[in-house]
Amino acid sequence: MSPINVAKFGGTSVANAAAMNNCAEVVLANPATRVVVLSASAGVTNLLVALAQGDLDEAGQEAQLARLTEIQQAILTELGDPGDLSDLIHGQLGEIRTMARQAHLHTDAELADRLIACGELMSTRLFTELLRQRGVKACWQDARQLLRTDSRFGKASVDLAATRALCQAALGPLLGDSLIITQGFIGADGDGRTTTLGRGGSDYSAALLAEALDAGTIEIWTDVPGIYTTDPRLVTRARPIPEISFVEAAEMATFGAKVLHPATLQPAVRQDIPVFVGSSKDPAAGGTWIRASTRTNPLFRAVALRRNQVLVTLHSLNMFHAYGFLAEVFGILARHRISVDLITTSEVSVSLTLDHTGSQSNGEPILGDKVLAELGQLCKVQVETGLALVALIGNRMSEAAGVGSQVFDAIREHNIRMICYGASAHNLCFLVKEDEAGHIVNRLHQELLD
């Protein structure tokens, strides 16, 4: 059998029955597509997260549940309200109500993952029925039987070897005969408990399944036709990029381009699987191919923006001509599973950035009281918010003369809080005030990319 394609559709692509029909057209247009990975319908995960946090009273819970029921029932109605499926969906909604009550009494990360995962479980059931009504032999699969993870609820790590073995055994015999529909974002630990991969993890799920099945391509279908030179909602002159390298796309995803989850490309790079990003609303509009190498490698490819950044400055005179201070700091962060983005140091201070947009599925903040207390025993801690990270993405940037002057001349009227440059030849990034970030992105695009 020739290499298969794994297609993933985001929440807006499965928001309602009409959107799901568009997805079906995209799937059926490519005979190589044998595995389809879906997010929850648009808005559903946010409703479930609100319930999982346990802060709502009974009236608040019922309002969220009513909206959830409305979204699912609208799709059921378009499908003719088939009895078995209707019973299954409403049974799932009943389980959500029970778990929401439990969360209000006492929430925990395991319960939150079980509750939040229900969105994908429902959307995939509905889409499978839609395909069957179109005469397609579609097989629903529970991703918790395919993706094996650790027990870090909210942002689990995947056991690649176990996942490969499970996928080969469960899906291998079906690939030639059925179209497989499964969930993104969710998995299970060794005890069968539901886990989630963190917000936006459906892209990552698709790539992991593609890697496990030795797929030939991955398609990520969203609501925009590919990756743009920057967010077109910020810069009207932004334009789609026909092709981009793995390393450039990884930098863009890491530094804020929301069209891809940052972890998505890791499995694709390991197996050298080309990734296509396109719009399920307008598949004829084309999109972006992400490959190991591209025909052109411009100095400046794109500008990315990541809002809601936190700058932590740690000050201690014990750093002066001393050893081990950074090791202690990173030891604390490692124990709390906190990843650092940017870092700069002086003799007595170290500043580092954390990304609150990369929080856990259940909405828990990254920088909690326990972390601050541990760091506070070691040094003086200063936390700054209201910041945004701007990143220029390109090629051989650290080797080219005049890059710094080009960039900072373009935004000379703005204050830069922190700069990181030189660690990668593919990015130059800096921290600015969040309320100035949009203007800065526009200026950089105008001066360097227009």
Q: Which residue ranges are tagged as binding site for substrate?
A: 45, 120
Instruction: Give dist(CA 259, CA 273) in Å, integer.
Output: 18
Joined tokens for residue 34:
């044998």
- The CA-atom distances, in angstroms, between 237 and each of 240, 257, 398, 434 are 10, 16, 27, 21
Is the distance from CB of 332 to CB of 87 less than 8 angstroms?
Answer: no
DSSP-assigned states of every residue in 328-391? HHHHHHHHTT-----EEE-SSEEEEEEEGGG--TT---SS-HHHHHHHHHHSEEEEEEEEEEEE
Instruction: Give dist(CA 438, CA 450) in Å, integer.
Output: 16
User: Judging by beta carbons within 10 Å of its beta carbon (0-12, 13-18, 19+), is residue 103 exposed, middle or buried?
Assistant: buried
Q: How is residue 174 annotated by DSSP?
A: G
Consecutive H or E run containing 291: strand 287-291
Binding residues: 8-11, 45, 120, 222-223, 228, 233, 258-259
Binding residues for ATP: 8-11, 222-223, 228, 233, 258-259
- The CA-atom distances, in angstroms, between 49 and each of 134, 276, 348, 367 are 33, 30, 41, 19
